[in-house]
Structure 1
Amino acid sequence: MIEMYRKGMSISDIARQTGRDRKTVRKAVKGTLQPAKKRKRQAKAVRKLSAYEGYLKQRMGEGVYNTRKLYRELRERGYQGGLTQVILYVQPYRPQRGEQAVMRFETTPGEQAQVDWGYFGSIDHEGRQRQLYVFVMTLCWSRAMYIEFTVNSTTDSFIRCHQHAFEYFGGVPREVLHDNLKSAVLGRERSGRIIWNERYLDYALYSGFTPHPCRPYRAQTKGKVERGIGYVRQNFWCGLRFADVADLNVQAHTWLNTIANPRVHGTTGAIPFERLGQEHLQVLPAQRFDTSLKVERYASRDCLVSYDGNFYSVPARWANTMLLVKETESREVLILNGLGELVAQHPKQPGRHKRVMVPAHYAGLPVRANQPAPGQAIQTARATLGDPLALPAPQVETRSLSIYGQLSEVGHD
């Protein structure tokens, strides 16, 4: 039949001569000719992509295998082909997975969010090396995602990121699922009873959600957020350039609003932003929870409190006492006494080993005659003596070594 068709016979003539149904003849003929047409289309698509092979190999060498991210980057560089060809090109290079099959668990709207920390190495932050983490929260039903980068994974940062996520989503889910993070769970008793981090538990009760830790060694229970961290690494992080953590979070917010949440999700087949409006989340509390970073510090005898590598003064009456230091989201350092009363306030300083001193804080100290004001001793010495290294060396008497020999003999008599 194929040879007859190639010689120019019509499908009807072939059907009459062979005694076959015309549909059967047509199917046989078209089935053999289609691959040839397909090969022509593929060859054309390959030619479009060939100019970008070097770039694709470079990006895959950097660990970028997310084809949608690569496709966006190629389009920005003038690529006119389709996504399918990028997928077919990358597929042979993609690392193989060996994951165990599990049953998917779905939740109802507004029921659950999953959260986790992801570690992203270290960066230079305000003049020193700090660990970089990403907080990821995913609403399980809509798959709407929120991410935020921080330089620590403390409980206060965990709470602050929760608050930002709830404000981004416009409400609070009924349950938050997380790993057994120290930010939330201090440990478990032998009976299995959870020992909660009290500050995180207070925040959960205030906000209206029930915290729910995974069973130990069962990280796949929160698979949605685990995959979310992988998505952040592949689709956002790879090849990213940023000035500091603030700039990084600005770019992350843009990525959430233009790529992550407006996309068609591969599992649900829906757009997370569109489903977010159907989550029926709980209303946020009218009064915002205090998300300041808090730590207790002892005020030294020279009226200074150490916080995050720098020193901040307090009034003299609070020297040698334990005080509470709070860093607000506006980067103000507030220092409070045991009654919660504000005793000092300073702008947060970058870098390390800086002393932020308010002269009025030392007003109550007894000052002896000619005693320099606090912080002025070194300046006064330099003004009076000049450069210490430029001072003339003191006169030293020189003696003959024979004198030491005589003294030694006298000592033995």
Structure 2
Amino acid sequence: MALRPLPPAPYVVAQRHLRYVGKDCLVAFEANLYSVPAHRVQPRQLVEVRATKAQIMLHATTPDHTGQTLLATHQRAVGRGCRIVEERHWDGLPTGAGRRVTAGHDLPARQGRGKSHNAEPAPGSLLGLLSRTAAAHVEVGRRPLSVYDELTGTRPFNTDNTPKEAR
């Protein structure tokens, strides 16, 4: 049995792992990121990574309407921290151009000289949310640092210039 000829197709050894898809359609495997098509996956979808010595194959855990599970095939990255991305995989992802940049409804007006700095913040803005908390209404006492020096019995090094014998 052991002396028979080898089969014509080599036996492919592959590791199989389950990973989640990120919202940027990237799958992390062995400290590298590999892309999958955005129109075929959802964020946090579970995919199967089949890794050979030279290749990474990403498969869906359930077949699509045609019965296929293969999502993408990439060359295996050498090293760590690589991003292996096919640009066409990102077709259909939002570009971020229309996203809001503040938590509030409107951008806050710039406060110039002569305007009151105690104006009430907009109710939905981040500043409005922070000022609603109980910690925003705590009165903080202010005192000079010399009070703490007296309490601890220490003196600042740069204010006392009297010689040691005079003390």
TM-score range, shorter chain: 0.3 to 0.5
Higher relative contact order (CA 8 A, sep 6+): 2
Query: Which structure shows the higher helix fraction?
Result: 1
TM-score, scaled relative to structure 1:
0.21
TM-score, scaled relative to structure 2:
0.47
